[in-house]
Amino acid sequence: MRVSDGTRTRGRRDHNPELYQLSYAHQATVSLAVIWVVSGGVFALTFDDGPDPRGTPAVLEALDAAGVRATFFVLGERVERHRGLFERVRAAGHEVEVHGYEHLRHPHVSRAAVERDIDRALEVLGGAKRWRIPWGHLAGFTQDVADQRGLEIVGWSTDTHDWRGDRAEVMLEGLGLTNGGIVLAHDGISVGAQRSTAAETARLVPMLVEAARAAGLAPGPLRPIWPVPIPISSCSSCSTASTRSQPAWAASGSKQHATTRCRRGW
Ligand SMILES: [Zn+2]
């Protein structure tokens, strides 16, 4: 098996890029990120608002059964309350990153409050590399707060809206599968959610994994190097997404955009 050009995988309709990645990894001296690009597309599975006994176990079991790992953006306050569940997420090999300590809406609170919140969360987690901002609602200071702590802000490219309590089939229908796509889902149940468990989110996992693989994409956690620019803020109601270089609300000069026009759950 050759590593350099990836011709063994190119053009195959039935290949599983994840398996090839693992296979290559035994022999390769080049970085995994390069192998991912060579061997096929990637698609990130991300889960927010846990750890939560009402949702996290079902999501973990679904991921395990599907043989995939994911990235969990956790809340420090919940990590403290459900430390055993948090350790279970880590022990299963998933990536753990930070969502906050509480679930603050940045444009509604002070910079000092956000700084206290993220620092407390980072202390609980023992550090993080990536930060998903609650609701994807950045304030004018959010990027600076992230930069000071070496955190990369991660939004999403497609949203399950699983907090609404839709059936898995409905959620799958609404998702976009693209190379470098990042899907937003929730293993945590929070205020405003129109569901009491994450059962449908868990049921979505194998469907989504199958659909991604059929599209030639390897579902998994966010990798250290991502093949496309990562959105930092998303507005699900008006279907706009922004990247580091082009935040929509920043460009419009209105940080009220997200809070006045966009309505979504956690
Ligand atoms: Zn959240």
Given a contact cutoff of 8 angstroms between Cβ atoms, the answer to whether 187 and 51 are in contact is yes
Question: What are the structural domains of the chain?
Answer: 17-22+31-261 (3.20.20.370)
User: b/e string for 34-53 if b means 16 or more Cβ within 10 A?
Assistant: ebbbbbbbbbbbbbbbbbbe
- Ligand 1 is an ion; its neighbours by CB within 5 Å are 48-49, 134, 266
Local confidence band at 39 (pLDDT 50, 70, 90 cut-offs): low
Amino acid letter for position 115 = E
Local confidence band at 257 (pLDDT 50, 70, 90 cut-offs): very low
The helix (run of H) or strand (run of E) holding residue 109 is none
What CA–CA distance (Å, rounded) separates 143 from 140? 7
What CA–CA distance (Å, rounded) separates 173 from 228? 23
**Per-residue pLDDT tens for 183-231?**
999 999 988 899 999 999 999 999 999 999 999 999 999 999 999 999 9
The pTM of this model reads 0.77
* pLDDT at residue 7 is higher than 70: no
pLDDT at 234: 56
What CA–CA distance (Å, rounded) separates 262 from 23? 44
257 catalytically annotated: no
Higher pLDDT, 247 or 264: 264
What CA–CA distance (Å, rounded) separates 263 from 242? 17
> 2 CA distance to ligand 1 centroid (A)?
42
The runs of H, that is alpha helices, within the chain are 17-27, 32-39, 56-66, 76-81, 83-91, 111-125, 142-148, 168-173, 199-214, 248-252, 257-261
Q: Of residues 103, 186, 187, 257, which has the active-site annotation?
A: 186
Q: Show the tokens assigned to 5.
A: 């050009």
> 216 CA distance to ligand 1 centroid (A)?
29
> 103 CA distance to ligand 1 centroid (A)?
6
pLDDT at 192: 87
pLDDT at 233: 80
Q: Of residues 48, 117, 162, 187, which has the active-site annotation?
A: 48
Q: How many residues does the chain have?
A: 266
CA proximity to 44, closest of 10, 73, 24, 15: 73
> 217 CA distance to ligand 1 centroid (A)?
26
186 catalytically annotated: yes
> 227 CA distance to ligand 1 centroid (A)?
24
pLDDT at 190: 87
**Per-residue pLDDT tens for 54-103?**
999 999 999 999 999 999 999 999 999 999 999 999 999 999 999 999 99
> 17 CA distance to ligand 1 centroid (A)?
30
> 134 CA distance to ligand 1 centroid (A)?
5
> 260 CA distance to ligand 1 centroid (A)?
18
